[in-house]
Amino acid sequence: MTDQSPRYRIRRANQGDIGGMTNLLKLLFSLESDFSFAELTQQRGLQMMLADTRMRCLMVAESQQQIIGMCTAQMLVSTAEGGSVALIEDVVIEEAWRGQGLGKELLSSIEAWALERGAARLQLLADRNNTPALAFYQALNWKTTEMICLRKGGKLS
């Protein structure tokens, strides 16, 4: 008889996951030229997100008590939609676990969370040079737009 139990599970993140999520953010930020990793800054951001689970959601993929993937979202108000939308960020999977459906499952769980809150649209930002991520999103029917992201402040000002 073979063991058919899943090798990982998708669940809501909690305070005990901050270390694992911080490690994943370090991996993600190594791929994104717009951001630099600062452990305490990223931990503070994660703690802020975990403090408001009604408007923010952090989902993790866990295997053998290790965080191997994550995805975060926040609810916003869109005048274009005349209602709530969800902004998805921080989609990252440990390299050894990529290509096994974790990213798709994490995004599906975030989408379900957003729909429960009445989101009319999901949107996400991706690094234009991260071609594997862009191909992944395109395969899941995410569409590019004519919009670009601009920012001011932080370490870039």
Per-residue pLDDT reduced to its tens digit, 46-99? 999 999 999 999 999 999 999 999 999 999 999 999 999 999 999 999 999 999
CATH architecture of 9-124: 3-Layer(aba) Sandwich (3.40)
Length of the chain in residues, anyone?
A: 157
Residue 154 — very low, low, confident or very high, per pLDDT cuts 50/70/90?
low
Segments making up each domain of the chain, as ranges:
9-124
What residues have CB less than 8 Å from 79, skipping those under 6 apart?
A: none
What dihedral angle (degrees, nearest 10) is formed by the CA atoms of 78, 109, 18, 88? -30
pLDDT number for residue 119: 97
pLDDT digits (tens, 9 = 90+) for 114-132: 999 999 999 998 888 889 9
| Alpha-carbon gap, residue 157 to 146, rounded angstroms | 25
Residue type, 146: E
What's the mean pLDDT in 25-54?
90
| Alpha-carbon gap, residue 96 to 2, rounded angstroms | 23
pTM for this model (two decimals): 0.89
Residue 155 — very low, low, confident or very high, per pLDDT cuts 50/70/90?
low
What backbone phi and psi angles, to 5 degrees, belong to 110?
-65, -40
Tokens of 4: 């058919």
pLDDT number for residue 29: 87
Residue 1 — very low, low, confident or very high, per pLDDT cuts 50/70/90?
very low
